[in-house]
Amino acid sequence: MKLQELEIFVVAPPAPGWGGRYWIFPKLTTDTGIVGYGECYASTVGPEAMKAVITDVFERHMAGENPENIERMFRRVYSSGFTQRPDPTVMGAFSGLEIACWDILGKDRDRPVWALLGGMMNERVRSYTYLYPQPGQSMDAFWTSPDLHAEAAAAMLDLGFTALKFDPAGPYTIHGGHQPAMSDITKSVAFCKAIREAVGDRADLLFGTHGQFTTAGAIRLGQALEPYSPLWFEEPIPPDNLLEFAEVARAVRIPVATGERLTTKAEFAALLRTGGAKILQPALGRAGGILEARKIAAIAEVFNAEMAPHLYAGPVEWAANIQLAVSIPNLLIAETIETGGAFHQKLIRNTIRWEAGFLHAPTGPGLGIDFDEDVARAHPYAGDRLHLEMQEAPCDYVNGNDFQGGAPPVKE
């Protein structure tokens, strides 16, 4: 069996676009006619340029290869151009292609991917969601309103969620780490207070920051949140200085979580060695794929650290996350977009089962999903913007900061 053909879908989810502006799905076909789907979570270049990178990686390092030889293909890509170091764009391309290879292998053997990774450890996977505006709530007012977030938290609690994430501390800027405005700290405390009062001890609070603070700024914010006992303090500083995570972890009595922007076991291992994080959040469409994430989980075991696969993408990465989560002993939780997301589920013909806060272990072959190419083709992305974008304006210490939750604007 050899990898023979590549096709790439760039799909734009309908507004409000939870999961990003577009999703990139490579489709691989073998010379035996087996088809596998993957997803690339890499947004450093525009979609047309990313398609070119994916095509080059496939043709240069994977075409004609047996899809079983994942380690060999990984080493080719990781070493390409005399690099042998993490590259989020190239490894993002490979990650999606690698996920497609696992889909092929599972289908070839008529077994779920988790069965090829060591078997079932977890029959169901605890899930969490970001808090998003609920029907009847103002989209504009939601992102700065503790009360509206508390209402959304209560609604998610009623559905069965036991962990809820929110990020009121914005903004995401190109300026690197900054000190939070005092108003941002006050607002973040108010969010934690309101949501904790709404859910009591029935749900964990997951506080997101997405790497916008200096080390000292993250410590100031984190210490202010300690009375509300969040389960984690997510990506408190930019991901380009892994040593500084340990300074935050030592100073704040909330577990540090990070990983959505990290690539390969090399970067995750550096965090673990320094004590920078005990909760790892690899995005499988960027970190190197399923096998690389399985290695990251194994390294984490040695440090008594937990895994919480990240998702701000489409349903194929979600499916890959679940396959990994089912197979590892140090699973904490896996991200889901609400109860799965209507368009996410439509793209895979409702083949992932979410129920009362948990994802059930898939039983179908490969990734266990049924990708609907007709739906993918009916929702092409025609723009040239990035999956996510950071603002150029610095933190506003006068008027406050209004972060809109990562939702892309409806108009391009």
User: Where do runs of H (alpha helix) occur along 62-202?
Assistant: 70-79, 88-109, 113-116, 139-142, 146-159, 182-199
Residue 106 and residue 367 in contact, taking contact as beta carbons nearer than 8 Å:
yes
Residue 395 and residue 171 in contact, taking contact as beta carbons nearer than 8 Å:
yes
Nearest Cα residue to 99 out of 347, 317, 297: 317
Q: Which one of 61, 175, 178, 310 is the catalytic residue?
A: 310
> What DSSP letter does each residue of 354-406 carry, written as one string?
EETTEEEPP-SSBTS----HHHHHHSB------SS--BSS---TTT-----TT
How many Cα atoms occupy the beta-carbon half-sphere of 145 within 13 Å? 16
Residue 45 and residue 53 in contact, taking contact as beta carbons nearer than 8 Å:
yes
Orientation angle between helical segments 70-79 and 290-302, nearest 10 degrees: 90
C-alpha 317/C-alpha 286 separation (Å) is: 10
Nearest Cα residue to 88 out of 271, 299, 367, 288: 288
Biggest distance spanned by C-alpha atoms of the chain = 63
Distance, first Cα to last Cα, the chain: 42
Residue 182 and residue 189 in contact, taking contact as beta carbons nearer than 8 Å:
no
Q: Which one of 61, 149, 175, 210 is the catalytic residue?
A: 210
User: Where do runs of H (alpha helix) occur along 160-181?
Assistant: none
Nearest Cα residue to 49 out of 92, 103, 108, 95: 92
Is 310 a residue of the active site?
yes
**In this structure, are strands 232-234 and 256-258 parallel, antiparallel, or unpaired?**
parallel
379 φ/ψ angles, rounded to the nearest 5 degrees: -130, 60
Q: Would the CA dihedral through 279, 147, 191, 389 be positive or negative?
A: positive
How many Cα atoms occupy the beta-carbon half-sphere of 96 within 13 Å? 34
Residues classed as catalytic: 210, 310
